[in-house]
Homo-oligomer: A and B are copies of this chain.
Amino acid sequence: MTDAELRERAAKVIPGGMYGHLNAAIFGPGFPQFFVRGDGCRQWDADGREYVDLMCSWGPVILGHRHPRVEAAAAAQHASGDCLNGPGPVMVELAELLVDLIPSADWAMFSKNGTDATTQALMVARAATGRAKVLVAHGAYHGADPWCTPSLAGTTPSDRADIVEYPYNDLAGLQAAAATVDGDVAAVIATPFKHDSFEDQELVDASFARGARELADRIGAALVIDDVRAGFRLDLRGSWESLGVRPDLTAWSKAMANGYPIAAVTGTDALRSAAQTLYSTGSFWFSAVAMAAAKATIETLREIDGPAVMERSGARLRAGLAAQAAAHGFTVNQTGPVQIPWLSFEGDATLEKAMYWSAACLEEGVYLHPWHNWFLSAAHTDADIDRALQATDTAFARLRTKFGTD
């Protein structure tokens, strides 16, 4: 069954034929919708085309598909039990691992979606403070529940009534936002860097991070890091640990189990009793297989220093792309951490070049994205990066033929 045939069938039984962040219709021309296989850092679409994958399924795959240790752990757990009348011992082991690994973590709660974790973190903060308002960076993605989904379709004004926006990396702006709801701020939530779609990424300013911590302390609010997207790729201890800034609560998901569905909130002792008051649960939140996969994933990342592995291959990719862009006469912006990279073309407001170039990359065998950040995994070897760079080089050449140089 070809991608085109599958899309035709899908259009009849799925609204729009597809929806959400994997809806290829919104990526640009040439993107396949259906995928059939993954192995290491390679994926195959329904038409049988093989890609060096630079999206990692939008983050979850961090050790590569079919990673032996993760698969062995998941299979062993699966052989005894997954969804039972209570959690398996592995829930305790996983929580202990997170508490051991993450300096700001005295406890952990598990769920399924990144949105579960961000929502749960805000609930803990509200339960602890008895306050309602949450300061959220303008344009930041914290999930797809009504309080945070980027589209207002299907939401009501009440869904956003307790959200107050501030500008990322702007401490005065954050302070001003807090002042508008003085005395009622339950939490300040921030992604560890600015990774909004359609925009160049922006690393966090250390003084902003420290200022946010000070503000939260001063006003008695919780500082929440949404590490759903970046977690486990930059620093296993939490993405602001290297800045010396520790959150009260952190939301984790995506990469934590190498593709198995799980999310978590970690928090400090000060918030433990508040966390205990929530009724927050889900039918599959305590299933053991995803927890066993998470434990094996995180242990592996720790042993191999996963972030450093990805930093190395990410740096190779960035350097290669920079050289290619220069050689082909294009001015590009490569932004974000090298493990979670993105490339935009200078002055390409309509994304015309990005769309053409990414489609050409696809045709040449590398899967990346025109308007959403990419993800490296620890499965990307130098040879994989070089294979990807071979494809991007041809894509730059085709772009030059089509549009000329800058």
Contact present for B55 and A85 (CB under 8 Å):
yes
The size of the chain A interface, using a CB distance under 8 A, is 109
9 closest A-B pairs by beta carbon, nearest first, are: A20-B281, A123-B154, A261-B284, A83-B259, A35-B84, A151-B279, A15-B275, A13-B95, A127-B154
Seen from chain A, the residues whose Cβ lies within 8 Å of a Cβ on chain B are 1, 6, 9-10, 12-16, 18-22, 24, 32-38, 43-46, 53, 55, 57-61, 65, 80-89, 91-92, 95-96, 98-99, 106-109, 111-116, 119, 122-124, 126-127, 132, 143-147, 149-151, 153-159, 161-162, 228, 253-254, 259-261, 267, 272-287, 290, 367
Contact present for B283 and A254 (CB under 8 Å):
yes
**Copies per complex of this chain:** 2
Contact present for A35 and B277 (CB under 8 Å):
no
- B residues near A65, Cβ cutoff 8 Å: 81
How many angstroms from the CA of A254 to the CA of B282 in the assembled complex? 9
Q: Tell me, rounded to whole Å, the shortest Cβ–Cβ distance linking A194 to chain B.
A: 19
How many angstroms from the CA of A87 to the CA of B59 in the assembled complex? 15
Known contacts A84-B57, A85-B57; is-contact A91 B14 (Cβ 8 Å): yes
Taking a contact as CB atoms closer than 8 A, the residue among B35, B96, B122, B284 that contacts A9 in the complex is B96
Taking a contact as CB atoms closer than 8 A, the residue among B24, B81, B153 that contacts A279 in the complex is B153
Contact present for A85 and B113 (CB under 8 Å):
no
Contact present for B277 and A86 (CB under 8 Å):
no
